[in-house]
Amino acid sequence: MNKILIFSLALFIQPVFGHGGVERTSLLKEAEIRLFVADNMNSDLVTIDFPSGQVINRVSTPPSIMTLQVGGNNNHIFAMRGRDTDEGVMSIISTGYDKEEKQFRPPYVIRTLSVDTPGGGRNNGSGHVMATVDGHNAVLTEGDGKIIVLMNDEIDGFSKLRTKTYDLAAPDHYHYLEGEKYLYIGHLFKGFVQILNKNTGKEVKKIGNCPLLHGMGRDSESGRLFFSCRTEVVVVGTKGEERAQEITRIAYPDKGRSCAAFLNGKQRVRWCYTEGIIPQLYRLDAAADDYQFDRLAVESSIRQDVTIDGKYLLILSKDGNLTLRDGFDGSFIRKVKVSEPFDGEWNEDVSKAILPDIVSHNGIAYISLTHEGRVVEVNLEEGKVNRYIDIGGFPTRMVLLAKKDLQ
């Protein structure tokens, strides 16, 4: 009888223990820097914390990542896939920063949205940041010609996304900048800058005769915008009497070579470069009365960037050297060997990102070495490699978040 009773109690108690309490382990991590790296071997987003150098986790996104951008409030990472299929998607990932605890948790995918060829955003020296309209994140959908503004201050997996939509002139590849009252959208194939009223969404005007418009920059002091055309740069005003007006055009020093992107150097200097492997950069001083480009010859370069303060112009050459130049005049400072040579062809198309990337913070640069499956940490002030972080795969685009900027 006792044996039967004990056996019965055991059968009853066992499932109760299975649902009992367990000790919960904290996932909070101390970190000064969180680095997000797109691994385009399988489209994972890899998270690395510094100064520990620990790989925190990998989260999966639909293949293949073309752009990686941080939202305007630093709460979210946006991974946008390439344009080699008939379905465009954008994944929204948490940065993991806990504002109450002032520490980091592991990132996770909040939601993935179907978006018709997502684009927009710009480089600020620590990675690409999302386009914004009045502080709200925005995505430019190049397949159907719209600006979709995400009006939610916080994005989670359950709440409905509130959006505001602007209609653009035509589907195209866009280069976008926001002004005080107007939105300025360069159209690559249509060859014009479309200007929209931010409040009404109505078109104010178009500034045309800018074939193969690719690349843009801004001079914050004057408010002037620089849009790169095939043979020249169009300068457009955004303030006062200059608002929505063409100011001037700047010819390139060389025929057949244009600007694909602008980098913000020291003071009001802008550096521009073409796509692909390049032999030189152009320098533009936005403080000058008469705009003109100067040439800066460089070694065969595969990636270019600037530190966020504009102090250094960083040039990664195909031979695996990182060259530091002065962010104002381009004068040579030092060279650091960071990797083996990048052999073969490195021509990136719109299907996915394949090029290495450079981000920096407080005198330290991080470079994704696509051909070696790792990230190198470089002390720019001392001119030496601190360490390598092996992550495997094919690391490309990166975004860096500093804890001090998240407080």
> pLDDT above 70 covers what percent of the chain?
93
Going from N- to C-terminal start, the domains of the chain cover 27-405
Q: Considering only CA atoms, which of 95, 116, 1 is closest in space to residue 49?
A: 95
Contact criterion met (CB below 8 Å) for 260 and 252: no
Q: Using CB atoms within 10 A of its CB, is residue 186 exposed (0-12), middle (13-18) or buried (19+)?
A: buried
Q: Are 204 and 195 in contact (CB under 8 A)?
A: yes
Tens of pLDDT, residues 50-100: 999 999 999 999 999 999 999 988 889 999 987 778 889 999 999 999 999
Mean pLDDT score, 41-45: 96
Q: What is the residue whose two structure tokens read 């866009």?
A: 174
User: In this model, does residue 12 exceed pLDDT 60?
Assistant: no
User: Residue 40 carries which DSSP code?
Assistant: T
What was the pLDDT predicted at 56? 97
Q: What is the amino acid identity at position 306?
A: V
Of the two residues 44 and 275, the one the predictor is more confident about is: 44
Nearest by Cα to 55 from 393, 405, 404, 407: 393
Note the pLDDT of residue 245.
98
Residue in the structure block whose two tokens are 């990636």: 303
Tens of pLDDT, residues 214-264: 989 999 999 999 999 998 999 999 999 999 999 999 999 988 778 888 999
Backbone angles phi, psi at 159, to 5 degrees: -70, 150
3-state secondary structure of 11: helix
Q: Which two tokens stand for residue 361?
A: 């913070």
Q: Over 60: is that where the pLDDT of 375 sits?
A: yes
Looking at residue 23, what is its pLDDT? 87
Mean pLDDT in residue range 379-395: 97
Burial class from Cβ neighbours inside 10 Å (0-12, 13-18, 19+) for residue 310 reads: buried
End-to-end CA gap in the chain: 66
CB distance 197 to 204 below 8 Å: yes
**pLDDT for the residue 348:** 87
Kindly indicate the confidence band of residue 9, based on its pLDDT and cuts at 50, 70 and 90.
Answer: low
Tell me which residue of 231, 127, 238, 221 sits closest to 176, measured CA to CA: 238
pLDDT at residue 2, rounded to an integer: 63
Q: Is the domain defined by 27-405 classed in CATH 3.40.50.150?
A: no
> What is the bridge-based pairing of β-strands 54-60 and 131-133?
unpaired
Read off the pLDDT band of 4 (50, 70, 90). low
d(CA 306, CA 327): 7
Q: How confident is the model at residue 13 (pLDDT cuts 50, 70, 90)?
A: low
Alpha-carbon distances, residue 204 vs 29, 73, 196, 376 (angstroms): 49, 29, 5, 47
